[in-house]
Structure 1
Amino acid sequence: MSEKLRTLGFGFRPEESLHHFLVHVPAKAEATVTIYERFSWQYDVREQKINMYDEDKAKAEISKHKWKLLMEVMQTEFNARLKKAKKPQGKFIIGQTPVERLLGKEMLLLVWAVEDCDPAVIPTATRNWLGLAPEERWWLYTMTNAATGGLNDRTGWRKALRYALTENPIEEQRQYSLFDMMIKKGEEE
């Protein structure tokens, strides 16, 4: 019988893959939340040491106010999917929360979309983000990250992502994803 793998944060299992995202939420109210992409894990330590000169890459910083507006939506979405996959659920905490790499890509997509916007448009951004299938989020992350994935990048795909998610309001009812529409079209033919 195989040993049960431990799961940390949101679906992160260092025994399976070291690639993950790490959300650092400081205790100070005026501090910013920083999200890192990482390819290493220090076992048996309480806090991960971030090595900015090695493989750890800061991908985004966001105010705690904006983070709190996003956190519950992401937590609910990720936990529903983890539960469906029969994996332990997670919770964002003060301190460090590891996030499995695919969920981390989806998280960064939403954070990048709102990092420079007025907090009043965050509900629109979260509805639009929820209206995308995970595969669509991964694709958008990949395109954005390839062109403008650095901490201080604010042009090109990052700017387009902000407009796409914050200035394109959708109705409250479920949006059909591109994949749903392709399947439906195939069934009609």
Structure 2
Amino acid sequence: MAKAAANTPSPKARAQVPHTLGFGVPATSDPHHFRVTIPKANSSKVQISEHLGLQAASSESSVIDRVLLDRPRWTSMRAEVQRAFNAQLATHGLKPGAWKVGDNPVDRLLGKELCVLAWAVEQMEMEKIPVAVRNWMALRPEERWWLFGMTAMSTGGVMDGGKGWRAALKHALGDVAQSELLSPRARRGKPGQEAGQTSLGLFGDEAP
């Protein structure tokens, strides 16, 4: 019993763990986050949308629909994405998440990473998706954020599939193991340079 008690977090330690929803979304008033909506019907598409929260200029522009995924494509990537996200959450001492039917809140930086993979596989041949998932996992989080930023500037809407950077992501992640070709310049620059933020949105007010 003494050993079990020693392994039980103290009330003070438990109080210091931030309360989050889904995959690392702060339980605060209208935070900037992403939402993965999984319908009950297996034939329905999965929607990924960005909710700007209090950062939105107006209520009309507060939600950006980023991508719709056919259910088989979502199913082929969801388990690996969940494991990757929970590994990141664990490093910050946050509780893990799990995909469920309905709305799934996702931290704003993890949501950017998810969009990069979703954009890559939305029109990809099914047999290539495992390769794309492996290539996506080989990228560092800040590299995924960079790719999101480049893609979202011109082809980040739900109707932009197959265009510009969306097409580039499909070929770069799905054709061969060539993730290095889309890495930020910082990766090939001076040692110690970082391409972007290095923590989840819960821990600061970094620019999106």
Q: TM-score, normalised by structure 2?
A: 0.74
1:19 corresponds, among 13, 32, 40, to: 32
2:176 pairs with 1:168:
yes
2:71 pairs with 1:64:
yes
* Structure 1 partner of 2:124: 117
* Structure 2 partner of 1:32: 45
Higher helix share: 2
| 8 Å contact from structure 1 (residues 106, 137) kept in 2 | yes
Larger RCO (alpha carbons 8 Å, 6+ apart) = 1
Deviation string, structure 1 residues 77-129 (Cα, Å, up to 9, x no partner):
01011111111110111111000000000001000000001111011101110
Deviation string, structure 1 residues 150-182 (Cα, Å, up to 9, x no partner):
101021111011111001236xxxxxx776765
RMSD: 2.7
2:114 pairs with 1:107:
yes
| 8 Å contact from structure 1 (residues 59, 151) kept in 2 | yes
Could you tell me how far apart the structure 1 residues matched to 2:190 and 2:83 are?
A: 27
Aligned length: 171
| 8 Å contact from structure 1 (residues 5, 15) kept in 2 | no
Q: TM-score, normalised by structure 1?
A: 0.81
| 8 Å contact from structure 1 (residues 12, 98) kept in 2 | yes
Shift of 1:3: 7.3
Could you tell me how far apart the structure 2 residues matched to 1:4 and 1:151 are?
A: 35
Listed as ranges, the gaps of 5+ residues in structure 1 are 42-51, 171-176
Check 1:185–1:168 CA distance in 2 against 1; reply closer, same or farther (3 A cut): farther
Listed as ranges, the gaps of 5+ residues in structure 2 are 1-11, 194-208
| 8 Å contact from structure 2 (residues 17, 93) kept in 1 | no
Deviation string, structure 1 residues 27-81 (Cα, Å, up to 9, x no partner):
001100001100239xxxxxxxxxx944111110001111111100110001011
2:89 corresponds, among 82, 100, 106, to: 82
| 8 Å contact from structure 1 (residues 61, 151) kept in 2 | yes
